[in-house]
Amino acid sequence: MKKFGSSALDRRAFLTGVATAGLAAVTTSAFAQQTDIGEILAAPRRGNWDDQFDARSTTRAKVAGFQPIASRETVSFTESAINTYNQIVSGGGWPTVQPTVKLQLGVVDPSVPAMRKRLMISGDLAETAGLSNSFDTYVDAAVKRFQSRHGLPADGVMGQYSLAAMNVPADIRLGQLHTNLERLRKLASDDQGPRYVMVNIPAAQIEAVEAGRVAQRHTAIVGKIDRQTPILDSKIQEVILNPYWTAPKSIIQKDIIPLMRKDPTYLTRNKIRLFNEQTREEIAPETVDWNTDDAVKLMFRQDPGKINAMSSTKINFPNQYAVYMHDTPQQGIFNKLMRFDSSGCVRVQNVRDLNVWLLRDTPGWDRQTMEATIKTGVNTPIAVTNPVPLHFVYVSAWSTGDGVVHLRDDIYEMDGQAALSIGTNT
């Protein structure tokens, strides 16, 4: 397969803006054009003209919604998706797309009909769109829908990761749905309670659920392939504003000691102080022999502040893996395609919104109080009055509606098919 786009481990960064193009004058004058548009907009029976102006790719349900992953509805929709995919497989699956150029809006290429057919079979493109060689606005809308369902940036450009996801065979996707259906049935059968937080690891996404609906959805950063975020069940008991960060021994050994060998000022510049774990006596970095691994016996603690590894927030819950959820000073990482970049803990985008939701029943902690406390820079632990159930789960395939099948890379290779580990094998 020919690869397009960046060859780096990270997929393409999310677009940070939307490209715009000017409209050229045609044969009529600017005055006449303005008059014509004005008449259209002022027409009493124009209906939803501005809503229908853009081409629609399909009549299927929207990709985004408020339905939680852990619900009976999701199980039912996933069962229906399996029936649909059985029919697709029985019918010969879908074609492989093999372009010779990067496919995007405006391109005319012999590979476009195969892509149109592929998108029709998966329900992203209406069959009435036809099988021409043109990558038109209908195909653009269909590709964006496909990308959204696969957790990819919905930019309409068929880069290497979109192409790789599109060319996973239908029978492999069917097997992925079967594997994940069992996980979904287990989640739906458990009593999650009226309020809970669910971290879906392969989707790198967090749902805060209340009364059976997703109240908040957050982008996450989860564990690297060699430092995986664990599957667990717990309860969120504490939110710490302006937290200290204590480096785990694995990070001390794998990351900090090698950095200190290269740059002896690293700890000082990053406001990380060393302490004897037994006596709590502070130790000067220059007294440590960094050519050995003896430093793992010390406690490495970073002071609160903007450069703190957890920035404004640490969310604590009891677990045997010593992991937690937290903020980060590096907000740009949430724009990465591959959000598997932590040492096992979970970084939360817009974590302050989640804080407010978690502390709703904790007296004295509204949004204004929280923001004022963060500004002080003072370490402030807050006990959550009603601890909120928390679940770290692994679901790489599910459905939330008619024709809305969500599929993700099997980043930790738990689904049993190498073809699903696109992010690591492409």
Spot the catalytic one: 150, 326, 391, 406: 326
CA distance 211 to 313: 26
Are 275 and 252 spatial neighbours (Cβ–Cβ below 8 Å)? no
Spot the catalytic one: 218, 345, 391, 406: 345
Verify whether residue 406 is a known catalytic residue: no
The 10 Å Cβ neighbour count of residue 8 is 10
Nearest to 315 by CA among 350, 354, 373: 354
Give the CA-trace dihedral at 392, 215, 57, 156, to 10 degrees.
-60
CA distance 337 to 160: 12
Verify whether residue 391 is a known catalytic residue: no
Q: How many residues does the chain have?
A: 426
Are 261 and 290 spatial neighbours (Cβ–Cβ below 8 Å)? yes
Residue ranges of alpha helices (H) inside 64-123 are 72-90, 112-121
Q: What phi and psi values does residue 227 have, to the nearest 5 degrees?
A: -140, 70
Detail the DSSP E strand segments found in 179-331: 195-200, 205-210, 213-223, 232-241, 245-246, 272-276, 282-283, 298-302, 313-316, 325-326
Nearest to 118 by CA among 90, 98, 148, 102: 98
CA distance 140 to 137: 5
Catalytic residues: 326, 345
